[in-house]
């Protein structure tokens, strides 16, 4: 993070990425001193309500973040920034998105956790739109124009107020990662009791193992002898009432609905105690590592991998077979994972996988047969992208093998 003092002194000359978070109520005009180089501007964590017109004088600006501010309207100046591709205004108070506020080259729009009730038709008139995050608003419908969003691949509409499924999405040719739990149309009266309830006083949290949008996972130990559970456990404590993917309760219920599978993180018990929602899980062996890394700004929706990381085609084939089995298991239980990615997959040296992170998962048994089949087809695209991503890290010596060709033919 940089400072206003550095900006004013000229110390930041030539900067391509600028992050200022100092409770700003206005954007300093001195940013124009970076006009020749600035591509990423992060103004998150301030007290801003407006953006200045001089942002149009930043010709290389591609990405702007202004999360955790006080905006009530998405600024129209954004639509005048000729090369702006990514707009992130989550956790503001935005209730109005003007038609003219969306840049012509818009590729990635994040409006999570605002006060939106409607969106402009111009959203479906942005031909490059690839990623759209709208969870945690008050939307009752989506623009009909989204039927034209032929490049849209990832969509989050969980935790809104839609009473009808937005069927204009079902014809989108590239939609692959879709989360829609927590809307009236997706409400379920099913109460999942596949695992028992336990008290949070029955275990003690130890070191943190990881955290994501929906919660923190820690190693834990039982405080008394347990005969029904393994000694080593992990506990995911969900964050707050809403996350970037939806409601924690929906994630918990989706986890429980899919029951057990050898390649899924095993759910052991649930906790609904003293205002805390948590999931007790089997501890993943220490020899498992992440298969992939999350998408970058450049890849947008596609996973990345550690530099130099490769796998032989035999291991890739084994991984694909396991993930395909997981996919069928999930959809047999009418659950869409919504985030089928290598970065949510753990792998050991023998290419055994454990798949997890149900933050974007949605139960869909309440939908029509046609809608259910379409949801499965959407997630099948995510599976094909998963396979395609793995083939990019295939060892060079295996790229002319029959197994490589067989996997390539699956997704072509």
Largest CA distance in the chain: 67
C-alpha torsion sign, points 339, 383, 233, 268:
positive
> Cα-flanking dihedrals φ and ψ of residue 326, to 5°?
-60, -45
Domain 4-175 - what CATH class?
A: alpha beta
Residue 151 labelled as part of a binding site: no
The Cα–Cα gap between 23 and 188 comes to 42
Domain covering 200-282 assigned CATH 3.50.50.60 in the classification: no
pLDDT value for 88: 98
- Please tell me the distance from the alpha carbon of residue 390 to that of residue 384, in angstroms, as a whole number: 10
Q: CATH 3.80.10.10 in the chain, residues? A: 4-175
Tell me which H or E stretch contains 313: helix 313-332
Each residue's pLDDT expressed in tens, for the chain with a length of 412 residues: 899 999 999 999 999 999 999 999 999 999 999 999 999 999 999 999 999 999 999 999 999 999 999 999 999 999 999 999 999 999 999 999 999 999 999 999 999 999 999 999 999 999 999 999 999 999 999 999 999 999 999 999 999 999 999 999 999 999 999 999 999 999 987 777 778 889 988 999 999 998 877 789 999 999 888 888 888 899 999 887 777 778 888 888 898 899 889 999 999 999 988 778 899 999 999 999 999 999 999 999 999 999 999 999 999 999 999 999 999 999 999 999 999 999 999 999 999 999 988 989 999 999 999 999 999 999 999 999 999 999 999 999 999 999 999 999 999 8
Q: What is the model's pLDDT at position 242? A: 78
- For 13, residues 6+ apart whose C-beta sits below 8 A from its C-beta are 33, 34
Query: What is the distance between the alpha carbons of residues 389 and 302, in angstroms, rounded to a whole number?
Result: 7
pLDDT score recorded for residue 212: 75
How confident is the model at residue 90, as a pLDDT?
96
CB contact at 8 A, 260 and 240: no
- In sequence order, what are the beta bridge partners of 335? 363
The boundaries of every CATH 3.30.200.20 domain in the chain are 200-282
Token duo for residue 238: 């969900």
Please report, for residues 255, 280, 325, 350, the alpha-carbon distance to residue 332 in angstroms, rounded to integers and kept in the order given.
Answer: 14, 24, 10, 27
Edge to edge, the sheet with strand 276-282 lists 203-211, 215-222, 232-238, 276-282, 267-273
How far apart are alpha carbons 298 and 207 in whole angstroms?
Answer: 33
Q: Give me 123's structure tokens.
A: 């959203």
280 burial type by CB count under 10 A (0-12 exposed, 13-18 middle, 19+ buried): buried
Superfamily name with CATH number, domain 289-411: Transferase(Phosphotransferase) domain 1 (1.10.510.10)
């Amino acid at each position: 993070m940089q400072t206003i003092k550095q900006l004013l002194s000229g110390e930041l000359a030539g900067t391509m990425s600028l992050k200022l978070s100092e409770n700003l109520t206005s954007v300093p005009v001195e940013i124009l001193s970076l006009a020749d180089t600035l591509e990423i501007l992060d103004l998150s964590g301030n007290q801003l309500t407006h953006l200045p017109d001089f942002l149009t004088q930043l010709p290389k600006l591609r990405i702007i973040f202004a999360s955790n501010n006080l905006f009530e309207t998405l600024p129209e100046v954004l639509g005048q920034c000729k090369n702006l591709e990514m707009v992130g205004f989550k956790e503001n108070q935005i209730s109005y998105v003007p038609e003219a506020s969306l840049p012509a080259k818009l590729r990635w729009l994040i409006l999570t956790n605002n006060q939106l009730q409607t969106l402009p038709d111009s959203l479906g008139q942005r031909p490059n739109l690839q990623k759209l995050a709208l969870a945690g608003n008050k939307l009752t419908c989506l623009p009909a124009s989204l039927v034209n969003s032929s490049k849209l691949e990832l969509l989050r509409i969980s935790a809104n107020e839609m009473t009808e499924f937005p069927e204009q999405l079902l014809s989108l040719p590239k939609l692959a990662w879709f989360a829609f739990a927590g809307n009236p149309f997706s409400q379920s009266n099913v109460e999942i009791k596949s695992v028992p309830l336990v008290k949070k006083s029955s275990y003690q949290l130890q070191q943190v193992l990881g955290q994501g949008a929906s919660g923190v996972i820690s190693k834990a130990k039982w405080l008394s002898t347990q005969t029904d559970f393994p000694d080593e456990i992990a506990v995911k404590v969900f964050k707050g009432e809403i996350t970037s993917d939806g409601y924690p309760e929906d994630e918990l219920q989706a986890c429980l609905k899919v029951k057990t599978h050898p390649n899924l993180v095993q759910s052991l018990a649930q906790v609904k105690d003293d205002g805390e929602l948590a999931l007790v899980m089997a501890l993943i062996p220490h020899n498992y590592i992440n298969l992939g890394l999350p998408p970058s700004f450049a890849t947008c929706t596609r996973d990345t991998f550690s530099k130099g990381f490769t796998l032989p085609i035999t291991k890739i084939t084994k991984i694909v077979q396991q993930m395909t089995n997981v996919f069928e298991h999930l959809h047999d239980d009418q659950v869409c994972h919504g985030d089928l990615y290598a970065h949510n997959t753990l792998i050991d040296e023998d290419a055994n996988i454990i798949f997890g992170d149900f933050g974007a998962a949605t139960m869909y048994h309440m939908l029509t047969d046609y809608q259910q089949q379409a949801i499965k087809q959407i997630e099948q695209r995510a599976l094909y992208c998963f396979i395609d991503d793995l083939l990019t890290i295939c060892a060079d010596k295996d790229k002319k093998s029959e197994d490589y060709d067989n996997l390539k033919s699956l997704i072509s």
